[in-house]
Structure 1
C-alpha cells in the first residue's frame, strides 16, 4: 500500500521538484540581465564633487563643446574618456545674410563653412563614434550671421511683425530638420536655439508652438541656450523644456589674474539670479557653454576671444585653471545643477599644437583639463 501510494503521488505531483529547481534559475537569469545604474564613484580628493556636495553626482552631464573636424575616429574619443567626459555637444550652423533678414539657410552637407563634421553625415558618424565609447551627444544648432549688420545671434532682430513671422517659419524648417536628424540617429538631447535674445523675449507663443512641433518629431530631452546677460531671466517658456540652459560667460573680475577667493565671491550674485529662475520653473539648470581663455584677463570678459593677431599676448594657464576651480566649486554641488558643456574641445589637438589654440578656450593639455577631469569624476 505505501509503495502504490508513493508512485501515485509522484505521478501526480512530478512538477513540484521541477518548479523548485526552475525558480532559482529564473531569478538568477533576471538578476543577471537587470539594467544597472552606473554611478560615478567619488574621488578621494578633498576638492572632488562628492566632497563638496556630500552626495553622488552620477547624473551630471559632463560635457564639452565639440569642434567639427574633417574626419572622426575612435582614437579622437580616447582623450575625452580619460578626462571623464560623458557628453559632447555638436554644433551645425545655419546662416543669415544679415541680422534683419528673415531667412535662415540650411546647409546639410557642411558646404557653408567647409566642415565635414557639421554635415548630416558627419554629425551622425561622430555621434556613433562617441556612443561606442559611452559618450552621449547633444545636438546644438547655431546661426551664423553674414554681412555688416551683426556677427552674433543676439543681434538678430526683425523690423516688422511680418518679418518675425517669416523668420520663425524659416527657423522652424531649419530646426525641425535637426530634430529629425537627432531622432533618426538616436542623439541624446537637443538644444532648440542659442543666444537668440530678441527672438525669445516677447515671442513666447511662437516658441511654445515650435517646441510642440519639435516634440512631435524628437522624443529626447530639450533645452535652449540662453545668454548670461539677462536673456535666461526673461524667457517665459522654460516650463515647456527639460533643462534651463545658460551660456555662462558671466564677468567675474575687473582685473587680471584674480584669486580664487575673488572669483568665488563674484559668483554669488549670478548664483542668486540662476537660483531664482530655477525656483520659479522647477527645472534643472545646465551650462550649455562655459569656459575661459588662457590669458590673464580670462575672467573680465569671458565671452571674448583672445586677440590672435597680438604679438605679445601673454599665456596664463594658472588664471584659466583658477576660473575652472571657482566655477565647479560654486555649482557642482547644487542639487538643481545638472552639468556643464565646456567651451571648447578640438579633436586630435596635440600638446605642441598651434599657439592660437593654446591661447583660446580649450582646456586641452593645460592644468584646466586636470581640474575638469577631477570634477568630472576621474
Structure 2
C-alpha cells in the first residue's frame, strides 16, 4: 500500500480528528447504561425465593444427574427438592437399621452419599435448595411401610432408637458438611413418634449439635400429625398430606374445596397450638378417576383398562393450592413426585402415576409456585 504525501497526511489527520469529535458528541447524547450492582457471589441461574416458601418436588433418584435434568424444575418455578436415601430394616419389630451409603449397595447412585451431594450441588447452581429426607424401608413384604415399625419390648425400643440415631445422625453430618438447607428427621414413624417423646427430644438435641439447618418431621395425615409431642423443638411441622377428599370418582373442584375444610381445621388447630409454620412434606395425586378417594394408593399398573384422568388430577391440585397457598402460616409443599429426564415421548409409561410432568397439573403447580 503506497504512503500518502505530507499534505495528504495533514488532510487525513484533520479528517480523523473531526470524525473522533463527532463520535464523542454522539456518544455523549446516547443513553448511558446503569452501573452494575455489586454481588458478593455470582448470580444464581435458577429461581430465587422471595418469601421463604417451599416450592418443592420429591426428586426421584437415578444413576446420574445433569443440569439438563434440572432445567424443567427452573421452568416450573421449583425452588426446593426433597432427596430420599434409605435405611433398611428387616422387619417392623426388628430393632436394627442398616445404613447404606452407596458403597457396594444395589440402590440407585442418587440415593448414595455421593449422589445426594452431587445432586444438591447441581441444584444449588440453579437456585434450588435441598430437603434431605431419609426414609426407612421395611423388608417385611410389599405392604409394609414405616408406620408399621413397632417394637415388642422396652429393651427393643431402646435398641431401635440407638440404631435409628446412628442412622439419622449420619445424614445430619452429611447435610452439615455440604450445607444442605433442611433435614427431615423421620417419616411416618407413628408408633415411635407418639409414645417416645423424650427419646426424640434427646435425638433432636444431638442433631442440633452437628447440624445447623432447618429441621422438620414428616407425620402421617391420618392422625399422627396431631399427636406428635415435639413439634415445638423443630422449625416447621411436616405432614404427609394424603387426606381422602372424596368417596366417588371424578369429583368437581367445588366438592374438593368443601372436603378440604375439615383437614384445614385440624391443621390450623395444631399450627395454633405449637405456633410453627406447616409444610406438606409430601402431597400428590394419581392421574386416575379415583385420585381423591385414597390419594396414598399407587395406581394398579397391571390394570390395563384403567382410565387416564388428567382432569381429576388437575382439580385435586387446584383445590389444594386454593385452600392452602393463601394461608400465611403455610410454609409450602413437596409434590410427589418428579422423575428427572422424563420427556413427553417417555411420559406415557408414567401417565397413571403421581407425577404432574407433561400434564395439565404441572401448569397448575407452576402458576401457584409463581405467586
Structures share fold, TM-score greater than 0.5: yes
Separation in 2, partners of 1:100, 1:181: 28
Describe the superposition over 1:69-112 as per-residue Cα deviations: whole angstroms up to 9, x where unpaired.
10001111100000000000000001100000000100001654
- Please, which of 197, 213, 219 is the counterpart of residue 220 of structure 1? 213
Report the equivalent of 2:183: 190
What is the CA distance between 1:58 and its match in structure 2? 2.6
What is the CA distance between 1:330 and its match in structure 2? 0.2
Q: Does 1:102 align with 2:89?
A: no
Report the equivalent of 1:376: 369
Kept in 2, the 8 Å contact 1:292–1:299? The answer is yes
Report the equivalent of 1:170: 163
Separation in 2, partners of 1:110, 1:352: 34
Give the 3-state SS of the residue equivalent to 2:63 in structure 1: coil
Q: Does 1:160 align with 2:146?
A: no
Kept in 2, the 8 Å contact 1:250–1:270? The answer is yes
What is the CA distance between 1:129 and its match in structure 2? 0.5
Report the equivalent of 1:311: 304
Separation in 1, partners of 2:52, 2:139: 39
Separation in 2, partners of 1:362, 1:215: 34
Kept in 1, the 8 Å contact 2:87–2:134? The answer is yes
CA RMSD of aligned residues (A): 2.4
Report the equivalent of 2:109: 116
Kept in 2, the 8 Å contact 1:98–1:150? The answer is no
Kept in 1, the 8 Å contact 2:245–2:292? The answer is yes
Separation in 1, partners of 2:126, 2:185: 26
Kept in 1, the 8 Å contact 2:132–2:184? The answer is yes
- The gaps in structure 2 that reach 5 residues or longer are 1-34
Kept in 2, the 8 Å contact 1:110–1:116? The answer is no
- Please, which of 114, 135, 156 is the counterpart of residue 128 of structure 2? 135
Separation in 2, partners of 1:199, 1:108: 24
What is the CA distance between 1:135 and its match in structure 2? 0.4
Of 108-117 and 166-175, more deviation after overlay is shown by 108-117
* Aligned residues between the structures: 336
What is the CA distance between 1:258 and its match in structure 2? 0.2
Kept in 2, the 8 Å contact 1:65–1:89? The answer is yes
Separation in 1, partners of 2:137, 2:156: 18
Describe the superposition over 1:155-191 as per-residue Cα deviations: whole angstroms up to 9, x where unpaired.
0000000000000000000000000000111100000
What is the CA distance between 1:355 and its match in structure 2? 3.6
Kept in 2, the 8 Å contact 1:110–1:118? The answer is no
What is the CA distance between 1:59 and its match in structure 2? 2.0
Separation in 2, partners of 1:347, 1:253: 31
Of 113-122 and 287-296, more deviation after overlay is shown by 113-122
Check 1:34–1:124 CA distance in 2 against 1; reply closer, same or farther (3 A cut). Answer: closer
What is the CA distance between 1:147 and its match in structure 2? 2.5
Report the equivalent of 2:12: none
What is the CA distance between 1:357 and its match in structure 2? 1.3
Q: Does 1:277 align with 2:286?
A: no
Q: Normalising by structure 1, report the TM-score.
A: 0.85
Separation in 1, partners of 2:313, 2:359: 9
1:339-378 counterparts in 2 under 5 A?
339-353=332-346, 355-377=348-370
Separation in 2, partners of 1:148, 1:290: 24
Check 1:172–1:88 CA distance in 2 against 1; reply closer, same or farther (3 A cut). Answer: same
- The gaps in structure 1 that reach 5 residues or longer are 1-28, 42-55
Kept in 1, the 8 Å contact 2:63–2:108? The answer is yes
Separation in 2, partners of 1:283, 1:200: 18
Q: Normalising by structure 2, report the TM-score.
A: 0.86
Separation in 1, partners of 2:151, 2:142: 12
Kept in 2, the 8 Å contact 1:260–1:325? The answer is yes
Kept in 1, the 8 Å contact 2:189–2:219? The answer is yes
Check 1:150–1:317 CA distance in 2 against 1; reply closer, same or farther (3 A cut). Answer: closer
Separation in 2, partners of 1:265, 1:69: 39
Separation in 1, partners of 2:104, 2:265: 43
